[in-house]
Structure 1
């Protein structure tokens, strides 16, 4: 990358035509920034940003910015015809559990039919060589086990969000087996990450954005489940997994055309209360209380086992939870002062990955 003297992901994205759905969202905008820094010829396809402020609108990514709904197959066809992508990263989704309870059909139509439409459009455009469909850690039939879910564990979902994402995994598997099994067809993988944190997230009903809003107002943060345990990780860690996976698919490694977990180290599976205590080092004024209102069902215990990605891809997290929270707090503080340090944080993450000897960084 520029100024760092390193080669990332075997330089496979330099000059590569990439279509990214959901580029106006939290994770999508971070991926757009990184792809831009990698020299990709990027086209984004998404609805307008769902929040104000918007991370995407704070960036200056060299990309063709197309607006549309993944539930509209004709719009997707037009986007692929224009972009002529060699690889597609599908991140567009309805990503919120509580919102899925309020409007379940939105989640089902976006997450299931939206994924089907993306894959159908890829099937129709012969230049596509690789597809990475991003789902979630919540695709598993959660048994509240004290060990991590592996990629071959049973899919399921109690709430509409989780169930619709599990169904998206089935859609992807169907396209992989039914349409993408012949020579010249795209190699298709799915990626399941943990509870992703980082600057630029202003979504509703997420812990860090809610914390930022509450502390900026001087309010006590209302939390729902202080003892709920989640696999917390920085957004750049899971994106490194997606990019590494995309690299391998573009290089023709058909063994990678399957499902993958990209979760944090076991010690970074922490309770909500534990994360809040750690965040007090960065926001000493942070105060919180537990909501007395009845809440819709959410899993209380969730772990991911990412040993498959570690063994087969050589992927592992770069930043631990303390580092991820420090970077997140630094991003929001800088943004409050009129700066959005996304590019610098990508560079800092890459430098840390190089120092740690990650296999996707070469001098």
Structure 2
């Protein structure tokens, strides 16, 4: 079986490849933007086939799909940061909407029988009142950022290709996914990286934060990878599934966890630059539909997530220090 992954260097892509390599008979092809940081997939070189290009380039993705001829497609490539979408709304739309349509067109032409996963996001739900959680898949979509709007459009495009052309499309609305090998844009990554820098003497003992009041639903990327495979094997085409832990944690409590696991004392200071124009007070998903379809359940809790990410950044900061010596 041939599997094709877009966004291989992103937060989930390399973990999905790791998981798929444990399944006998799976041949992995991955689509990588030429300028993407290759470090998250260094351990995969020689074990997977990499196609380079940009998801916004219809010819590049068409050529890659035509060459790989995959049986399964996981579409993870995106401009995936809500905060960045405020500064670059057009870029976000092009990457997330146009890029998704480019992929769907290539699949329609070359592998119309392939099973396709489209990665959506909890940001499609937008602001949710406390009495509306946990959020189920039939909750109204009220995106409050250009990123959320782009993902609604990408999701609807996937569902339209299923309805119009019969493509086997399954969509996930993914809540926060966290693990090693990520950049430092996610809140947990930001806090852990700052702690590692402070411990290494490369930052003053102040942790800069944004809004600490929101509550978010976090799932480890290894749990996510397992869920995606199970969903594409057992999920119903044309359906949308929340991919989440089902638990919400206050961002301020995560800061407290990082400080408690830290090796030096720090103070916390709000940085106005880290505050968003709109910040949903709570995003907590209902994952019962996913669990019913696949039997999946998360295995890694928030404290283990924070501990792993903090250790990852300690290793990264330490490695950089040794390189500079």
- What TM-score results when the alignment is normalised by the length of structure 2? 0.88
Please, which of 272, 278, 286 is the counterpart of residue 305 of structure 1?
Answer: 286
What residue number does 1:12 align with?
none
Please, which of 186, 194, 212 is the counterpart of residue 214 of structure 1?
Answer: 194
Q: Are residue 125 (structure 1) and residue 110 (structure 2) matched?
A: yes
Contact map agreement 2:5 2:73 (CA 8 A) in 1: yes
What residue number does 2:250 align with?
271
Q: Are residue 21 (structure 1) and residue 2 (structure 2) matched?
A: no
Q: For the structure 1 residues 200 and 277, does the alpha-carbon distance in structure 2 shift closer, same or farther, using more than 3 Å as the test?
A: same
Cα distance in 2 between the residues matched to 1:309 and 1:127: 25
Cα distance in 2 between the residues matched to 1:327 and 1:75: 36
Q: Are residue 280 (structure 1) and residue 265 (structure 2) matched?
A: no
Please, which of 44, 68, 80 is the counterpart of residue 95 of structure 1?
Answer: 80
Deviations 1:328-348 (A, max 9, x none): 333334455559xxxxxxxxx
Contact map agreement 1:263 1:305 (CA 8 A) in 2: yes
Q: Are residue 169 (structure 1) and residue 155 (structure 2) matched?
A: yes
**1:110 deviation in Å?**
0.8
Cα distance in 2 between the residues matched to 1:148 and 1:209: 25
Please, which of 82, 89, 114 is the counterpart of residue 104 of structure 1?
Answer: 89
**1:109 deviation in Å?**
0.8
Contact map agreement 1:84 1:128 (CA 8 A) in 2: no
Q: Are residue 232 (structure 1) and residue 218 (structure 2) matched?
A: yes
Cα distance in 2 between the residues matched to 1:61 and 1:278: 38
**1:61 deviation in Å?**
5.9
**1:49 deviation in Å?**
5.3
Contact map agreement 1:27 1:235 (CA 8 A) in 2: yes
What residue number does 1:248 align with?
234
Cα distance in 1 between the residues matched to 2:19 and 2:277: 36
Q: Are residue 289 (structure 1) and residue 269 (structure 2) matched?
A: yes
Cα distance in 1 between the residues matched to 2:232 and 2:179: 22
Contact map agreement 2:97 2:150 (CA 8 A) in 1: yes
Contact map agreement 1:309 1:315 (CA 8 A) in 2: yes
**1:102 deviation in Å?**
0.7
CA RMSD of aligned residues (A): 2.2
Deviations 1:204-243 (A, max 9, x none): x322332243231233221111111110121111221111
Contact map agreement 2:120 2:171 (CA 8 A) in 1: yes
Cα distance in 2 between the residues matched to 1:202 and 1:171: 28
**1:150 deviation in Å?**
1.1
- What TM-score results when the alignment is normalised by the length of structure 1? 0.79
**1:319 deviation in Å?**
1.2
5 Å matches for 1:1-363?
Answer: 16-39=1-24, 40-48=26-34, 50-51=36-37, 54-57=39-42, 59-60=44-45, 62-126=47-111, 128-146=113-131, 147-180=133-166, 186-203=167-184, 205-215=185-195, 216=197, 217-219=202-204, 220-248=206-234, 255-266=236-247, 269-285=248-264, 286-293=266-273, 295-336=276-317
Q: For the structure 1 residues 333 and 60, does the alpha-carbon distance in structure 2 shift closer, same or farther, using more than 3 Å as the test?
A: farther
What residue number does 2:323 align with?
none
**1:300 deviation in Å?**
2.1
**1:103 deviation in Å?**
0.8
Deviations 1:143-200 (A, max 9, x none): 33441221122223111011111111111111111111xxxxx421011222111111
Cα distance in 2 between the residues matched to 1:213 and 1:319: 20
Contact map agreement 1:36 1:61 (CA 8 A) in 2: no
Contact map agreement 2:192 2:309 (CA 8 A) in 1: no
Q: Number of residues paired by the alignment?
A: 310
